[in-house]
Amino acid sequence: MKTLVIGANGQIGRQFCELASRGGVSLRAMIRHSDQQPWFHERGIDTVIGDLEGDFHQAFNGCDQVVFSAGSGPHTGPDKTLLIDLYGAIRAVDLAVERGLERFLMVSALRASDPMAAPVKLRPYMAAKFAADAYLRSSRIPHVILKPGKLTDAPASRLVSAAAHADGIEVSRGNVAYALLHLSQARMLKNREFDLLDGDSSIAMALL
Ligand SMILES: NC(=O)c1ccc[n+]([C@@H]2O[C@H](COP(=O)([O-])OP(=O)(O)OC[C@H]3O[C@@H](n4cnc5c(N)ncnc54)[C@H](OP(=O)(O)O)[C@@H]3O)[C@@H](O)[C@H]2O)c1
C-alpha cells in the first residue's frame, strides 16, 4: 500500500511523512521544488515533483491512497484559495478516481460545513473546503475527511477529541499528523468524517 502525500512539504505533511516513514509506511511525497527533496531522501522517502496548479497526474503512478494536506496558506489571496484549496483538491480527487485508488484522506477544516459562520476573512477558505469536501463525498472513491480545528505548533500530546466542544477549538499539527498516520493505516475506515481537536482520548479511540 503506497500513500501519495499531497502537501508533503507542509508543516503537517512533513510531520506525517516523518512518522509514517518511521512506521514503515510506504510513501510518495509530492513536493513543488527539487530543493525540497533532500529532507525526504535523507529519510528514505520517495518524492515526485508536482504542482496542483499544473499537471500532476504522474504523481499517482503506483499509489493506492492519497493524503491531501496541501493548502494555499494565509499569505495568498482568494485566487489561490480557489485554485489550490478548491480546484487543486477537485483535480486530485478526479485523478484518484480515474486511477482507481482505494481511498482518499482529506485534511479539511473544523466547521467547513458552515462557511458563513466563519469570520468574514475566512469565509472564502471555508467555502473552498466546503466545496472540496462535497466533491469528494459525491465522488466514487472511498474517503475519510478529517476536520482539524485551529492549528498550533504545540508538541503532539497524542490525545484528541473528535467532537467539537466548547472548551477549545485548537489542535496541534503533531496531533493531526498522528491522526493521519492512524487513518492511513485503518483501511477499514471508509466514507467517514471526523472533527479533530486536542482532547483526552487516544487517537485510536477517538477515530474509530
Ligand atoms: N491553519 C489552520 O488553522 C488550519 C485549520 C484546519 C485545517 N487546515 C488545513 O491544514 C492543511 C495543512 O496545514 P499546514 O499547517 O501543514 O500548512 P502548510 O505548512 O502551509 O502546508 C501547505 C502545503 O501545501 C503545499 N502547496 C501549496 N500550494 C501548492 C500547490 N500549488 N501545489 C502543491 N502543493 C502546494 C505547500 O507547498 P510548499 O511547501 O512548496 O510551499 C505546503 O507544503 C491545509 O489543508 C489547511 O487548509 C489549516
- Inform me whether the pLDDT recorded for 98 exceeds 70: yes
**CATH numbers and ranges of domains, the chain:** 3-206 (3.40.50.720)
- Tens digits of per-residue pLDDT, 110-140? 999 999 999 999 999 999 999 999 999 999 8
Beta strands 201-202 and 159-161 are antiparallel
Inter-axis angle of helices 11-22 and 173-185, nearest 10: 50
Reply yes or no on whether the pLDDT at 165 is more than 80: no
The preferred substitution site among 6, 15, 19, 32 for testing ligand 1, maximizing ligand atoms within 8 Å of CB, is: 32
pLDDT at 147 over 70: yes
pLDDT tens readout for residues 19-59? 999 999 999 999 999 999 999 999 999 999 999 999 999 99
Task: Name the packing angle between helices 123-138 and 87-98 (round to 10°).
Answer: 10
Average pLDDT value for the chain: 96
- 67 vs 166: CA distance, rounded Å: 29
Q: H-helix or E-strand containing 41? A: helix 37-41
186 lines ligand 1 (CB under 6 A): no
Q: What is the pTM of this model?
A: 0.97
C-alpha cell at 121: 476573512
pLDDT level of residue 163 (50, 70, 90 thresholds): confident
| Separation of CA 192 and ligand 1 centre (Å) | 22
Cell of 70: 496541501
Is 72 near ligand 1, meaning CB less than 6 Å away? yes
Strands (E), the chain: 2-6, 26-31, 46-49, 65-68, 103-107, 143-148, 150-152, 159-161, 170-172, 192-198, 201-202
Q: Which three cell numbers stand for residue 73?
A: 496558506
CA distance linking residue 64 with residue 139, whole number of Å: 16
Active site residues: 125
Q: What is the C-alpha separation between 146 and 83, in angstroms, rounded? A: 21
- Judge whether residue 168 has pLDDT over 90: no
pLDDT band at 166 (very low <50, low <70, confident <90, very high): low
| Percent of the residues in the chain that have a pLDDT greater than 90, as a whole number | 96
Kindly state the average pLDDT of the residues 83-105: 98
HEC string for 48-76: EECCCCCCCHHHHCCCCEEEECCCCCCCC
Does the C-beta of 13 come closer than 6 Å to ligand 1?
Answer: yes
Q: Kindly tell me the sign of the dihedral angle through the C-alpha atoms of 136, 150, 14, 182.
A: negative
DSSP state of 119: -
How many Å lie between the centroid of ligand 1 and the Cα of residue 71?
Answer: 3
The answer to which of 77-91, 134-148, 154-168, 176-190 has the lowest mean pLDDT is: 154-168
Average pLDDT over residues 181-189: 97
Lowest mean pLDDT among 141-150, 161-170, 195-204: 161-170
Mutate to test the pocket of ligand 1, among 6, 9, 14 (most ligand atoms within 8 A of CB): 9
What is the reported pLDDT for 19? Answer: 98
In this prediction, residue 164 carries a pLDDT of 75
